[in-house]
Structure 1
Amino acid sequence: MSTPQGPTFRELAVQALSSVEHGYDLLAPKFDATAFRTGERVLAAVADALRELGPFATGLDHCCGTGAGVGVLREVCTDRVVGVDFSAGMLARARRAFPAGAEGPAVRWVRADVRRLPFAPAFDVVTGFGAFGHFLPREFPALFAEVRSVLRHGGVFAFPVVAPPRVGSRAYWTLWGFDAAMRLRNTVWWPRFVMYYRTFRLADVTRDLAVAGFDVSTTALEALGRRADGSPRCRLVVARRR
């Protein structure tokens, strides 16, 4: 789950027995050395795809964590970029990664719950990288409506979705087992730590985005390759505010 510089098993266990917010505060100092951080190949592929959709003036990274997605937005936005997250620890690491005065668009960090975004409709593009597993499926329609509320007319909400593992494969059973263990943990332990890998299904997400007021399309991220059946390993969901 991590490099030698990443958290120990004990540290991960303590995180998993905390709330989502406090767990990420604890994980923040070593987060970038874990497999939870979005990989550079995915970030680069998304940046290339967004360049084709731009140009954009202002961008917002949804659940920004330590700022990997903000780095992508600074490549495709010309004016201003904002990162929003509810973990003070993650935001502190992000500020160190993008110090004030760095070359490129200005960056602002905001601590907030993304289910109640504190912004006017001022953004041309909103990105999301890997945080949707921290929300239950019933929360997605309202979550997407909040994103729509901060986009300008015609603005884009974009995020990568990795193809699900083949049924019966080792990866399939690994994710199934993780989700089952997490559901058991949340049945017997409080506070809950919501982190599920099998609840963010593309068909359901596309439907919820449409209900929230988006026109939805997907594009294959060809740089990440294709599976044996010819389908892309990863797609970029592009939801444009109607």
Structure 2
Amino acid sequence: MTTNHGARRGPTLRELTVQALSSVERGYDLLAPKFDATPFRTPERILDDVVRALGPLGPFRAGLDICCGTGAGVRVLGEVCRERVVGVDFSAGMLDVAREAVRSADAKVQWVRADVRALPFAPAFDLAVSFGAFGHFLPKERPGLFAQVHSVLRPGGVFAFPIGAPPRPGSWPYWAMLGFDAAMRVRNAVWWPRFVMYYRTFPLTEVWPELERAGFEVELRPLAGLGHRPDGTPRAALVVARSALRG
């Protein structure tokens, strides 16, 4: 599998403004042709570290990328899954770019347009991943989302996603995230349709028990390649949620 995300010109301020004033689906349809030139695309170094972390957890036959966007996570699945890789997203524009950018000589990649809150799959996957999409779900939607992921995994299947260490209170990333979320709440209070994207609505302290209630056994695996904070703790980790084996 090869992924082509060469140099492209990023979106203009006007294009970003139009996107931000649209619905989530329409906004990503508009942004799709230039998405890979934005900071929102998951960096290669994160993808590479996730591949290394997933290797010992396999082998995997079939993998599903939740909210696949332009297909960055599909590349990860292509390296660790032997038989079948599926990317699912509700933005037709993002899927069009993914189809063009990701090519597989063995034709094991499929693209499906669907709302991940109602996944149209049987329990046929050994691995599900997601990269950078959870800010698009309100906290009240997470239990249903996790239940949907659990429903499409085979017994013993793995749901994995990277998560960054929370910024320290008072640091510039802390204030940047706080400011972005505040601006987004104001925007959604005065403008319709809503554009749901928040950075501070996915705390691991809440997500961990929600995953357990959905039927997962959860552990954290440090992503050592992404470095450590001054106190020695990792900057990022892989959340590994395994579906319990059913006897």
Whether these two folds match at TM > 0.5 is yes
Q: Partners in 2 of 1:241 and 1:159 — Cα distance? A: 14
Matched with 1:43 is 47
1:13-71 C-alpha deviation (Å, 9 max, x unpaired): 10000000000000000000000000000000001111110110000000000000000
Stretches of structure 2 lacking an aligned partner (at least 5 in a row): 1-6
Deviation at 1:104, TM superposition (A): 4.7
Summarize the alignment of residues 201-212 of structure 1 with structure 2, pairs less than 5 Å apart: 201-212=203-214
Q: Partners in 1 of 2:149 and 2:217 — Cα distance? A: 13
Q: Partners in 1 of 2:186 and 2:235 — Cα distance? A: 30
Deviation at 1:103, TM superposition (A): 2.7
Matched with 1:84 is 88
What one-letter code is carried by the residue in structure 1 that aligns with 2:21? Answer: L
What one-letter code is carried by the residue in structure 2 that aligns with 1:8? Answer: T
Stretches of structure 1 lacking an aligned partner (at least 5 in a row): none
Structure 1 residue corresponding to 2:194, chosen from 192, 195, 199 = 192
Matched with 1:163 is 165
Summarize the alignment of residues 45-60 of structure 1 with structure 2, pairs less than 5 Å apart: 45-60=49-64
Matched with 2:3 is none
Report sequence identity in percent: 68
**Does structure 2 retain, via aligned residues, the 8 Å contact 1:126–1:158?**
yes
Q: Partners in 1 of 2:207 and 2:33 — Cα distance? A: 32
**Does structure 2 retain, via aligned residues, the 8 Å contact 1:74–1:104?**
no
Q: Partners in 2 of 1:52 and 1:19 — Cα distance? A: 39
Question: TM-score, normalized by length of structure 2?
Answer: 0.95
Query: How many pairs were matched up?
Result: 238
Question: TM-score, normalized by length of structure 1?
Answer: 0.97
Q: Partners in 1 of 2:220 and 2:57 — Cα distance? A: 12
What one-letter code is carried by the residue in structure 2 that aligns with 1:231? Answer: T
- Structure 1 pair 175/167, CA: closer, same or farther in 2 (3 Å)? same
What one-letter code is carried by the residue in structure 2 that aligns with 1:83? Answer: G
Summarize the alignment of residues 139-178 of structure 1 with structure 2, pairs less than 5 Å apart: 139-178=141-180
